[in-house]
Amino acid sequence: MNNKKVLISRMFSDIEAELLKDAGLFITRWNKERPMTQDELIEKAKLHNALFCTLSDKIDKKFLSECSHLEIISQYGVGYDNIDIPEATRLGIPVGYTPDALTEATADIAFGLMIAVSRKMFFMHKKIIKGEWDYFKPRANLGMELKDKTLGIYGLGRIGVKMAERCKGAYNMKIIYHNRKPTPKADELQAEYVDFNTLLTRSDVVSLHCTLNEETKGVFNKEAFSKMKPSSIFVNTSRGMVHNEHDLIEALNTGTIWGAGLDVTNPEPMQPDNPLLQMENVAVLPHIGSATIEARTEMARMAAENIIEFYKNKRIPHIVNPETIKNRQV
């Protein structure tokens, strides 16, 4: 493959490294116990033709202006809000990603968080650690059941569908959803398309599965929480910046909503003294939606395949900005 060099921004798995090497590409891996700073990333990327990167690598205007020579950026992940896509497209740099590799894994985390919150699981677990498991108190720490409740999906895409299937199958939950426009994905779930306001007022559980963009940034704020039921559970496994953390804490403290399950926070990492971590009806995880052997293996394979196919056949199986590869010479 004409001595093409790929920079891999951290030790992902060995799978992508093997696949890329077997395809005849030269690879460099950042193998330190910390991520590269942006300056380090820029400095190294300058010496390579392709970049294999992930969510915490900042591929913004500054990066792209200094590394406009890159022939492909391959993101290990389904979200790509760390990459300035319009700018990469303007520069003619194709961006690959790994949709569907982590769909089941992330839906499991959303489903698990919903149940954990409904039964105060994380809080009760902490009680044992603190030596507070004493005697049976019939009225204490009561959770709520999910059977026949209404699930409101904000962003019914691949992961939202899998969350909805789990909730329907396990608890016969009624599914309502809000997207920019109705989607045929809803038909099999008999999911009802509703406007944002109705999603908030009717749902017993609101689960976020949208991408982060200018339209979704900060949408779950004080006003949105104030429309939700006092008995409702808020679940976010998409991006922390879709909710306003200050407003969420206030909504929980004032009983405006009942509980929250988060796999994503704003900012990440969440600091250990964050008040959310002490709340009874809250469960927080450190962004582990895709953390299964199966999902991470498939992400590595797909992200490597995007690069290999690009150099071999001038195509990228999973591409964000297909307009960049038309007529491109590599």
Q: Which residues of this chain interact with ligand GLV, rule CB under 6 A? A: 55, 77-79, 102, 289-290
Out of 43, 223, 268, 294, which one is annotated catalytic? Answer: 268
Q: Nearest to residue 310, comparing CAs of 289, 290, 326, 292?
A: 326
| DSSP string of 276-292, one letter each residue | GGG-TTEEE--S-TT-S
Question: Minimum Å distance from CB 141 to ligand GLV?
Answer: 32
Helix (H, G, I), strand (E, B) or coil at 74: strand
Question: Minimum Å distance from CB 263 to ligand GLV?
Answer: 8
304 in Cβ contact with 50 (< 8 Å) = no
Active site residue 328: no
Distance between terminal CA atoms of the chain?
10
Q: Which residue lies nearer to ligand GLV by CB, 127 or 158?
A: 158
Distance CA 208, CA 213 (A): 13
Question: Minimum Å distance from CB 161 to ligand GLV?
Answer: 16
Q: Is the dihedral of CA 17, 19, 22, 27 positive or negative?
A: negative
Q: Which residue lies nearer to ligand GLV by CB, 97 or 258?
A: 97
Q: Which residue lies nearer to ligand GLV by CB, 25 or 295?
A: 295
Active site residue 239: yes
Dihedrals phi, psi of 308, to nearest 5 degrees: -65, -45
Out of 48, 239, 243, 296, which one is annotated catalytic? Answer: 239
Q: Which residue lies nearer to ligand GLV by CB, 41 or 55?
A: 55
Q: Which residue lies nearer to ligand GLV by CB, 109 or 153?
A: 109
Question: Minimum Å distance from CB 257 to ligand GLV?
Answer: 24
If you search the block for the tokens 């994380």, which residue do you land on? 122
Question: Minimum Å distance from CB 89 to ligand GLV?
Answer: 19
Q: Is the dihedral of CA 141, 145, 149, 152 positive or negative?
A: positive
Q: Nearest to residue 91, comparing CAs of 58, 59, 47, 134?
A: 59
Question: Minimum Å distance from CB 77 to ligand GLV?
Answer: 3
Active site residue 178: no
Q: Which residue lies nearer to ligand GLV by CB, 54 or 256?
A: 54
Joined together, the tokens standing for residue 250 give: 């206030």
Q: Nearest to residue 141, comparing CAs of 108, 166, 164, 117?
A: 117
Out of 287, 298, 309, 318, which one is annotated catalytic? Answer: 287
Where does the chain have alpha helices with state H? 14-22, 38-45, 61-66, 85-90, 103-118, 121-129, 158-171, 196-202, 222-227, 245-253, 293-313
Show which residues are catalytic: 239, 268, 287
